[in-house]
A and B are shown apart, each in its own frame.
Chain A
Amino acid sequence: MDKIEKNLLKQIADIEKTPMGAYNIRENGKLAGRNTTANIDIVTKKDKPGIDIIIKPNTKNESVHIPVILTQGGLNDLVYNDFYIGENADVVIVAGCGIHNSTCNTAEHDGIHTFHLAKGAKIKYIEKHYGEGEGTGDRILNPQTIINLDENASMEMESVQIKGVTSTIRETFANMGKGSSLVISERIMTTGKQTAKTIFDVNLNGEDSSVHVASRSVAEDDSLQEFVSNVKGNTKCFGHVECDAIIMGNGRVISDPKIEANDVDASLIHEAAIGKIAGEQLIKLMTLGLTEKEAEEQIINGFLK
Chain B
Amino acid sequence: MLELKDICFSRDNKNILKNVNLTIDNNKMIVITGPNGSGKSTLAKIIMGIENPDSGKIIFDGKDITKLSITERAKMGIGFAFQQPVRFKGLTVKDLIEISAGNSIKVCDACDVLADVGLCAQEYLNREVNSGLSGGELKRIEIAMLAAKKSKLTIFDEPEAGIDLWSFNNLISVFEKMHDDIHGSIVIISHQERILNIADEIVLITNGKVEKHGPREEVLPQIFNKVKPCHKIDKNQKCNEGRA
Contacts and interface: CB of A to CB of B under 8 A. Distances in A.
Interface of A: 216, 244, 278, 280-281, 283-292, 298-299, 301-305
Contacts of A303: 89-90
| Complex A-B, nearest 10 residue pairs according to Cβ-Cβ distance, in ascending order | A302-B90, A303-B90, A302-B91, A289-B74, A286-B70, A284-B86, A280-B86, A286-B71, A288-B100, A289-B75
A292 B80 CA distance: 17
A197 B95 CA distance: 31
Interface residues of B, number: 24
B88 A299 contact: yes
Given A285-B99, A287-B48, A288-B99, A244 B89 contact: yes
A287 B68 CA distance: 12
Contacts of A289: 71, 74-75, 99, 102, 149
7 contacts: A283-B70, A285-B99, A287-B74, A288-B79, A288-B145, A288-B149, A305-B90
B237 interface: no
A274 to B, nearest CB: 13
Given A283-B50, A292-B71, A302-B95, A278 B86 contact: yes
A277 to B, nearest CB: 10
Interface of B: 48, 50, 69-71, 74-75, 79-80, 82, 85-86, 88-92, 95-96, 99-100, 102, 145, 149
Contacts of B75: 289
A287 B70 contact: yes
B69 A299 contact: no
A141 to B, nearest CB: 24
Contacts of B149: 288-289
A204 to B, nearest CB: 25
A292 B74 CA distance: 12
B92 to A, nearest CB: 8
A286 B82 CA distance: 13
A283 B95 CA distance: 16
Given A286-B74, A289-B74, A281 B80 contact: no
A299 B71 contact: no
B23 to A, nearest CB: 22
Nearest to A300: B90
Chain B at the A interface: SS class: mixed
Contacts of A290: 71, 99
Contacts of B145: 288
Given A301-B90, A302-B88, 10 more contacts: A283-B50, A283-B70, A284-B86, A287-B70, A288-B149, A289-B99, A298-B91, A302-B90, A302-B92, A302-B95
A304 B71 contact: no
Contacts of B100: 288
A216 B70 contact: no
Given A288-B74, A289-B75, A281 B99 contact: no
A287 B90 contact: no
A241 to B, nearest CB: 16
A291 B99 CA distance: 12
B70 A299 contact: no
A242 to B, nearest CB: 10
Contacts of A284: 82, 85-86
A281 B100 CA distance: 14
B151 to A, nearest CB: 9
Given A298-B99, A302-B95, A287 B50 contact: yes
A304 B90 CA distance: 7
Contacts of B99: 285, 288-290, 298
B97 to A, nearest CB: 10
A281 B50 CA distance: 12
B149 to A, nearest CB: 6
A281 B95 CA distance: 14
